[in-house]
Homo-oligomer: A and B are copies of this chain.
Amino acid sequence: MNFRANTENAGEWLRGAGPLADVVISSRVRLARNLAGLPFVAKANRRQRYEVLESCRSQILAKPLSANTLFVHLNDATALDRQLLVERHLISRQHGASKNDVPRAVAVGSEETFAIMVNEEDHLRIQVLRSGMQLDDAFGQINGIDDMLEEKLEYAYSRRFGYLTACPTNVGTGIRVSVMLHLPALQLTGEIDKVKRAARDMHLAVRGMFGEGSDAQGDLYQVSNQTTLGKSEEEILADFGQTVVPQIVNYERQARQALVRDRGPQLDDKIWRAWGTLTHARVISTKEVLSLLSHVRLGVNLGRIEGIDIRTLNELFLLIQPAHLQRLSEEEMNPAARRIARARLIRQRLGG
């Protein structure tokens, strides 16, 4: 596979810039689409699945979708490569899992601004990822991709229901919008559970950084809309992007100011100890790193610690994970060896 572990020319969403970037790490729009005249992936036979794969592949690689699109047949990829793509948020955990009965693939656009999974739960899952709060831009780009694919692919569509999808929760627009939020202050003040409950009352899903079933590590939460039926894409976007997310961002900012005001020394202590540990540890787990990076990131955003680049921190969130670490080190490592290599990498990147 041609996919590199380093993030030098990739991961636009890692920039740490864009509107509300102190809280909103990235914005993501995803569309679920299926080809007309062919069964959903789970119901399709081998031949039909190959037919889906081939139709999608040729259309995805047709210009002008992207000049440098990388197309990866996942059944030909190593377990490490698949894990790399999962860690990079380019495929879902399920899509990266070891199962050889379904021919499946992913297309990754240049700078990783878009990724298209083929034969995941639906024939096509298109995602666009941007740094900061840029749902409208992401929506614009994904619409362009959707239109180009539709030029030659006929989608399964019902006048009554809209786009047809394998899971009923996606029927209709087939759109899911989500943001990755960094909520360390709500975590530290203990208000995070209140916010989670409120989000669920608004029919939002709140998950960890790797989507469904994953824990919230590093105080990173993926918040997304749940309903795709009965509202237009524009309504969903407006409601989510202009009301819901800014409200959560506001809660987090208020919690940060409360920490600065009421618990300044304890806050600084947490931030600086995190920095001290990251730059000095010799053995460290992914989970601990994510927690420490979270506190340092909070410190940078609040101006309590200076001279640290947010992009460097964002990249570390990815690079310290098992597959990235092994690819960067150019060797397979057991968990004990990884904990040592991880600590070394962090010191190199942070100048410890």
Interface residues of A (CB under 8 A from B): 265-266, 268-269, 272-273, 275-277, 279-284, 340, 343, 352
Contacts and interface: CB of A to CB of B under 8 A. Distances in A.
Nearest to A266: B283
A299 B317 CA distance: 30
A281 B277 contact: no
A268 to B, nearest CB: 4
Nearest to A339: B265
Question: How many chain copies?
Answer: 2
Contacts of A269: 281-284, 343
22 contacts: A265-B282, A265-B283, A265-B340, A266-B283, A268-B282, A268-B283, A269-B281, A269-B282, A269-B283, A269-B284, A272-B280, A272-B281, A272-B282, A273-B277, A273-B281, A275-B280, A276-B276, A276-B277, A276-B280, A276-B281, A277-B277, A277-B280
Given A265-B283, A273-B280, A277-B277, 10 more contacts: A265-B282, A266-B283, A268-B282, A272-B280, A272-B282, A273-B281, A273-B282, A276-B277, A276-B279, A276-B281
A339 to B, nearest CB: 8
A281 to B, nearest CB: 5
Contacts of A265: 282-283, 340
Contacts of A276: 276-277, 279-281, 352
Nearest first, the 8 A-B pairs at minimum CB distance are: A276-B280, A276-B276, A269-B282, A269-B283, A272-B280, A268-B282, A265-B283, A265-B340
Q: Which of A268, A275, A280 has the most CB of B within 10 A?
A: A280
A267 to B, nearest CB: 9
A281 B279 CA distance: 13
A275 B276 CA distance: 8
Contacts of A284: 269
A279 B276 CA distance: 7
Contacts of A266: 283
